[in-house]
Amino acid sequence: MKPETRVPTAIYTNEQVRALDKAAVARFGIPGFELMTRAAEAAFAALLERWPNAESVAVFCGAGDNAGDGYLVARLAHARGMSVRAVAVGAPERLRGNAARAWAQCAEAKVPLRTWPERLDAGFAADVVVDALLGTGLDRDLDPAYAAAVEYVNALDLPVLAIDIPSGLDADTGLPRGAAVHADLTITFVALKQGLYLGRAPDYCGDIACADLGLPAEAARGLAPAMTRLDDHDLEMALPRRPRTAHKGSNGRLLLVGGGPGMAGAIRLAAEAALRAGAGLVYVATHAASVATVMAGRPEIICRAVDGPADVDALVGPCDAIVLGPGLGQTGWAEPLWRHLVQVERPLVLDADGLNLLARYPVERERWMLTPHAGEAARLLESSPSDVEHDRLAAIRAIARRFRAVTVLKGARSLVAQPDESNEVSVAVCDRGNPGMATAGMGDVLSGVLGALLVQCGDAGIAARAGVLLHAQAGDDAAAAGERGTLASDLLPHIRRRANPR
C-alpha cells in the first residue's frame, strides 16, 4: 500500500505523535520495520517529485530510527541507479533494532559509505542532500559532532530534504537546539508535529509534506490535536455564496475608528480592505485632519470627523461591528474614544493602539477580537517580545484566557486562538504568507478584513480564522513578482479575488 502524502489540518504534540506511532504497532499490527520502510519510500518519492532531475544524493545519517530512514532512502536511490553517498555521523555499529536492520540492508546493497568527520569525496557533487541526522526525539542541544555535521550540511548550499524534522529543531517548540539544518522540503511522518509551525520553524523547514504511512484514521480518534492548520474550509465557513436578493445592508455594516493626526493612512487602508473583503457599508470615524486623506480616491467610504464619544455614537447605531485602533494613537483625542467604544455592546476588533491602551487600562467584555503582534502581546502580558516569540503558543493562550477574546497573534505563522465557554482555548495556525508582508500597513489591512468578515458571518472565531488565511493568501499573491518591495495596498485587489472562493 502506498502511503498517502498530503498536508492534513490536525497538528499534534511530539508526545501525541509518538502515541500514534506506537498504536500503529500495538493496535493495528503494523511492524516497526514496515513503518520505517514506508517512511523511506515516502521520503524518496518526495525527493523525486521535488527534484525529478536529481542524479546524485548525499544522505547524512545519525542515530536512531531517523538514521534507519536515511539508510533505506540511500538504498532506494542506489537501486534506482543514482550516485549515492551515505555519510554516517552516528556509528552504524551502535544502531539497534529497526535502524540496525536498515543499515544492514544498505551495506548489503553496497551503498558507498563515508564516516563522519570524513567529508564527501572531492569529485562528488550531490544534487540533493538528505538530512537523516536526528529526528523528533531530540531533547537537548546538539553535541559537537552533530553540530559540526549540521553546519557542514548548511554550508554545502545544496537543496535539502529533511526526514521527519530538520535535525536540531525541537519538535514541540520549533526552536533550534543550538543549530538546525535549513531544509527546502521537510517530509514528516504519521502526523504533523507542532514544532514544524512554531518558533523559528519557518526559517528551517521549507515546504512541509506529511506521509501518514498507512496508519488508519481511527488511530487518532479521541485524540484532540494541539492545533489545527487553516485551510480553504475556513474561508467557505465565513464566505458562503450570497443570495441573488442580497443588498448592502445584508452584507454587513462596519465602523472603523482611528486615524489620528499624521496616521490617516492606517485607517484608510483598513477601510478599503474592509470594502474589498465584502462589507456592504463601511463607515470611518476619524480625526478632522484625516478626513480628506481617507476620502481621497475612495468615495465608497462613509467618513466622518469626530471629536469625542458623543460624535461617534451616531455612527455606532446602525453598525454591526467596530474595528478600533488603526492609526488611533494614544492622545487626548484617542483615549476618550477608546474608553467609550470598548464599553459599547457591539462585536469589536481591537488593533494597534487599541491594544496598547488595553494594556494600560485592562477591561473585561464579551464578543471581541484582539490582534496583537509580538510587541503588543508582550505589553498585554507584561512580558517582553522575546518571551512571546520564544513560546508563541503559550502567549496566545494566555491572552485569549485573560481577556476571554478571540485572539490573533500576528507574525510568521500567525496563530488564531478561541476560548470556549469554560475558557479552554483552541488554536489554529496559518502556514501561508511571506516575508514581503513584514512592512507598514499590513496589520491595518488585516484588521479591515477581519471586521468585514465579522459583519458578514457574525462569528468572531470563524471571521478570525478566515480573515487571517485570506490576508495571507492575498499577501502571497501580491508578492508573486517579488517579496521585497511589496506594499500593504498591493493586497487590495487580491483580497477581492480571495473573498470570492467559488
Contacts of 134 (CB under 8 A, 6+ apart): 62, 63, 64, 66, 142, 146, 167, 168
Amino acid in the structure at residue 154:
N
3-state secondary structure of 443: helix
Q: Check for a shared fold between 5-229 and 232-498.
A: no
* Mean pLDDT score, 158-186: 97
Q: Is the pTM of this model over 0.75?
A: yes
State yes or no: pLDDT of 314 exceeds 60. Answer: yes
Torsion of CA 76, 78, 79, 80, to 10 degrees: 90
Contacts of 411 (CB under 8 A, 6+ apart): 373, 374, 389, 392
Chain-wide mean pLDDT for the chain?
A: 95
* Mean pLDDT score, 292-301: 93
CB 11 within 8 A of CB 229: yes
State yes or no: pLDDT of 95 exceeds 90. Answer: yes
Q: How confident is the model at residue 6 (pLDDT cuts 50, 70, 90)?
A: low
Amino acid in the structure at residue 471:
H
Amino acid in the structure at residue 129:
V
Q: What is the pLDDT of residues 199-216, one digit of tens each?
A: 999 999 999 999 999 988
Contacts of 291 (CB under 8 A, 6+ apart): 303, 304, 305
* Mean pLDDT score, 78-94: 94
Q: Using a pLDDT cut of 70, give the percent of the chain over it.
A: 98
pLDDT at residue 24, as a whole number = 81
pLDDT at residue 120, as a whole number = 72
Domain boundaries, the chain: 5-229, 232-498
| Beta strands 415-419 and 425-429, pairing class | antiparallel
Q: How confident is the model at residue 49 (pLDDT cuts 50, 70, 90)?
A: very high
State yes or no: pLDDT of 444 exceeds 80. Answer: yes
State yes or no: pLDDT of 122 exceeds 80. Answer: no
Q: What is the pLDDT of residues 235-248, one digit of tens each?
A: 999 998 888 999 98
pLDDT at residue 2, as a whole number = 46
Fold of 5-229: Rossmann fold (3.40.50)
Q: What superfamily in CATH does domain 232-498 come from? A: Ribokinase (3.40.1190.20)
